[in-house]
Structure 1
Amino acid sequence: MWLVKLNSGYDMPMLGLGTWTQNNRTAAESVYFALKNGYRLIDTARYYGNEKGVGEGIRRAIAEGVVKREDVFITSKIMPGNYNNAAAAIDASLKDLGVAYLDLMLIHQPGSNDKAVYQAMEQGVKDGKLRSIGISNYYTKQQVDEVLSYATIIPAVIQNENHIYYQNTVLQNYVKQFGTVIECWYPFGGRGNTGENFGNKTIAEIAKKHGKTPAQIILRWQVQAGYVTVPGSANPNHIAENIKVFDFELSQDEMKKIAGLNRQRRYENW
């Protein structure tokens, strides 16, 4: 598993499991299966309503000796409905996940109380509850600069929609100077759009050449381009498939071809 050194000093796995749309039951199973299959990054959020399940899956893997707590990088997010009491939201996530600290906490999306939320996360770092902090769904230099104007701890991660048709390399290149890493949700375009991404002629040709699936080519491109990526799935076959991207390498020409697919076209508007 590849790791990236965050500006907080901690190492973050570059590929993990996303749990958006999963309930507690399916999250517990998929997280446990993912950890057994080599995953070490698990992504959830208060809004998902599955933190208890995610925690259950992690505890089961720990109890069976699959991993230790310090082996697992756990990310959660403070949802807009909790922005008026971010400190309590941090504690609620820790309680539901059943852990003493989170490896990464993000503001889920821009809201009306971002400064206070970010400052609550900074206090969480000082209190030992959070190791790294960041933001999600901030897409422009202007949005990032606003956070930087009041941040005393620079965001370690920005988690955004990112796939072959929306690469936003402008933002990635801008935040490199701060040591901030871009993390991708919807690496395959999200539900209803995977066919368009997997069926792309360039992706399909590269997949055939390497004897890999289109999903594996897209994930390999992302980690090779310096992104962290968290494909979501409750399907054991897909979970097992998605992590098998570290036994081959895309050529510079192939990386350029995939970069050329960028249309700056998002599928979502939040």
Structure 2
Amino acid sequence: MKRQLALLAALLLAAALFANGKTTPAAPTVRLNSGYEMPVLGLGTWTLDAQTAEESVYTALKNGYRLIDTARYYHNEQGVGKGVRRAISDGLVTREDVFVTTKIWGAYAPEKAIEDANAALGLGYIDLLLIHQPSSDDRAMYTAMEKAVRAGTVRSIGISNYYTKKQFDEIMGIATIVPAVIQNENHPFYQNEELQDYVKKWGVYVESYYPLGGRGHTQDLFGNRTIAKIAAAHGKSSAQILLRWHVQSGYIAIPGSSNARHIAENISIFDFALSKPEMEQIRALHTGKRYETW
């Protein structure tokens, strides 16, 4: 009976998604300090080539995703843009429905990097532009991003891979526009609550990359007894439990995938909730282990 009810729910969701040809957003949004709405769950595209990124983005938008994450460093912005434009052309979404993030880094002249990112995406503007990692060029990059906001080619700005209060304070010493988002590695094994609590004072949202654990190491969390036990109790996958933990914790999460089944599964987390004890059990898994070393 439980599986039958789950199947019925899935069918009803599928019907809603494709009603009148346009898909229905599957994730709620939060209002950034820039005034724009950002979905709390999206698709990451790190390691995807341009063609795979195009197909994955299109699949994600069909399944109700509205947040897509890319970067100059990924070399797949053109594919991401094509996937979004195809979904727009097919009537699944409008440009205003979709929130696209990209990132620049210190190896390029920032004004040119922003111009090239907009051209590669081909979507008219960038919803969220991040500095990909700290560097000696932070002042020039952040100033260029603020200029792009004033010009209307970028809507919101932020930072990524800044893990200390000192690094954040250095940006705040530059900023005339407060960062809207800080995107860092974040998962139950690595939570960095000190920094997260600190940036919230400025209304900065924490966005989790590697929300399921490091790429190639997801089984570390999927196979964790605590996660597996909670997943069994809810009739959900370990990935769904982890992503639900992120959104209930107030994070924005961007799991990456090119697998159509996983893409659909990852966003199917808004029909249940974790209890307070379950949230605390997952939070207690923190070990300080990071998989990425920027």
Offset at 1:268?
1.5
SS in 2 for 1:80: coil
Residue 81 of structure 2 corresponds to which residue in structure 1? 55
2:126 to 80, 88, 102: 102
Which structure is larger by alpha-carbon Rg, 1 or 2?
2
Equivalent-residue separation in structure 2 for 1:192 and 1:237 (angstroms):
18
Deviations 1:114-158 (A, max 9, x none): 011000000000000110000000011111001001100010000
Please tell me whether the aligned partners of residues 214 and 292 of structure 2 are also in contact (alpha carbons under 8 angstroms): no
SS in 2 for 1:183: strand
2:145 to 121, 125, 139: 121
- The one-letter code of the counterpart of 1:159 is Q
2:97 to 57, 62, 71: 71
Residue 7 of structure 2 corresponds to which residue in structure 1? none
Please tell me whether the aligned partners of residues 27 and 57 of structure 1 are also in contact (alpha carbons under 8 angstroms): yes
Does residue 228 in structure 1 map to residue 228 in structure 2? no
Deviations 1:9-45 (A, max 9, x none): 1110000000000011100000000000000000000
Please tell me whether the aligned partners of residues 74 and 102 of structure 1 are also in contact (alpha carbons under 8 angstroms): yes
1:22 to 29, 48, 57: 48
Equivalent-residue separation in structure 2 for 1:124 and 1:63 (angstroms):
27
Structure 1 residue ranges, 4+ long, deviating more than 2 angstroms after superposition: none
Please tell me whether the aligned partners of residues 67 and 99 of structure 2 are also in contact (alpha carbons under 8 angstroms): yes
Does residue 248 in structure 1 map to residue 287 in structure 2? no
Offset at 1:267?
1.1
Offset at 1:188?
1.3
Percent of pairs with identical residues:
61
Normalising by the residue count of structure 2, what TM-score does the alignment of the two structures yield? 0.90
Offset at 1:190?
2.2
Please tell me whether the aligned partners of residues 45 and 79 of structure 1 are also in contact (alpha carbons under 8 angstroms): no
Offset at 1:163?
0.9
- The one-letter code of the counterpart of 1:49 is H
2:190 to 155, 161, 166: 166
Does residue 41 in structure 1 map to residue 79 in structure 2? no
Deviations 1:47-98 (A, max 9, x none): 000000000000100000000000000000002311xx10111110111100
Consecutive unaligned residues of structure 2, counting only runs of 5 or more, are: 1-26
Please tell me whether the aligned partners of residues 115 and 150 of structure 1 are also in contact (alpha carbons under 8 angstroms): yes
Offset at 1:191?
2.2
Residue 138 of structure 1 corresponds to which residue in structure 2? 162
Equivalent-residue separation in structure 2 for 1:192 and 1:199 (angstroms):
13
Equivalent-residue separation in structure 2 for 1:73 and 1:169 (angstroms):
26
Offset at 1:265?
1.3
- The one-letter code of the counterpart of 2:288 is Q
Please tell me whether the aligned partners of residues 79 and 108 of structure 1 are also in contact (alpha carbons under 8 angstroms): yes
Residue 6 of structure 1 corresponds to which residue in structure 2? 32
